[in-house]
Structure 1
Amino acid sequence: MNALQRVALALVIIGAINWGLIGLFQFDLVASIFGGQDAALSRVIYTLVGIGALCCLPLLFAPTADEESSAVERNRNLQYSTEIAEETDPSKFNNEKEK
């Protein structure tokens, strides 16, 4: 996870905590700190949280460490071998059928 994804995840966590406070206690922490929901700074914070959520969407579809290690393990266990056999002459089969 790079630095941008970490910042985006931190913003999403802040937004989730704020929504939890709104849902449980009807208290908007961002609005109370930055001067109300209509204040410019509050709107900037809300916008950054939304952008952070969009930046975290790829994390939802990224493979986990377990999936990556199992893929490596699957590739490690592959055995590439060939079967060597004599090729038969198809004309022999035709001759046997005619007899």
Structure 2
Amino acid sequence: MKAINLVTLLLVIVGGVNWGLVGLFQFDLVAALFGGQSAALSRIVYVLVGVSALWQLVPFSKAISSDEPYAERGYPTAR
């Protein structure tokens, strides 16, 4: 389970960097690397990034429902 979380987190980061490049410079790195936005490989990467974002909702919701956010801020945890 840890491996899939790391892979999906990496893909979400790739997607975030790509969106940052699109927003700042109108440059789509995924499209540039894989043959344009409509190329099959680019579309696969886009879908994998989207599915990874959905997958990351699970650890995110677990972190929100636990004391983890308090630990990150340095507050004492509720017991």
TM norm structure 1: 0.65
Counterpart residue number, 1:78 = none
Counterpart residue number, 1:42 = 42
Q: Please state whether the residue corresponding to 1:58 is helix, strand or coil.
A: helix
- Once the two structures are TM-superposed, the CA of residue 28 in structure 1 deviates from its matched residue by 0.2
d(CA) in 1 for partners of 2:2 and 2:55? Answer: 11
Structure 1 segments of 4+ aligned residues over 6 angstroms from their partners? none
Higher-Rg member (1/2): 1
Structure 1 residue 17 corresponds to structure 2 residue 17:
yes
Report the number of matched residues: 71
Q: Please state whether the residue corresponding to 1:27 is helix, strand or coil.
A: coil
Give the aligned residue type for 1:19: W
d(CA) in 2 for partners of 1:17 and 1:59? Answer: 21
- Once the two structures are TM-superposed, the CA of residue 70 in structure 1 deviates from its matched residue by 2.4
Structure 1: gaps spanning 5 or more residues? 75-99
CA RMSD of aligned residues (A): 2.0
Deviations 1:48-69 (Å, cap 9, x if unpaired)?
A: 00010011001221231729x8
d(CA) in 1 for partners of 2:19 and 2:59? Answer: 21
TM norm structure 2: 0.81
Structure 2: gaps spanning 5 or more residues? none
Greater share of residues in helix: 2
